[in-house]
Amino acid sequence: MSRATRLIRKLDEALAQHRTFGDAPESFVDELVEALEQDVATIQAKDKPKHWAEIYVERDRALIKQEVLNRIMQRSSE
């Protein structure tokens, strides 16, 4: 398992601990980044392109998932 995969897994596990994020989900970002700081530092030290590529792909997946969920939510208000 790559370092990037471990980082993404830890992030997913941290997010799964919450049932809701209230009205300000962005308020959790700093806390999560801080919790992952050691893993991020390791990835930066290794500086392998494949790790960064994996992180970019995961970010793109998250953006696509957000858009799909937004569209589904729009249907509920129609």
* In contact, 67 and 17? CB cutoff 8 Å: no
Please tell me whether the overall predicted TM-score, pTM, comes out greater than 0.75 for this model. Answer: yes
Q: Give the DSSP letter of residue 28.
A: G
Contact between 69 and 21 under an 8 Å Cβ cutoff? The reply is no
Rounded-to-integer distance, Cα 45 and Cα 19, Å: 34
What pLDDT, in 10s, does the model give residues 33-56? 999 999 999 999 999 999 999 999
Buried b (16+ CB within 10 A) or exposed e, 15-29: eeeeeeeeeeeeeee
Percentage of the chain exceeding pLDDT 70: 100
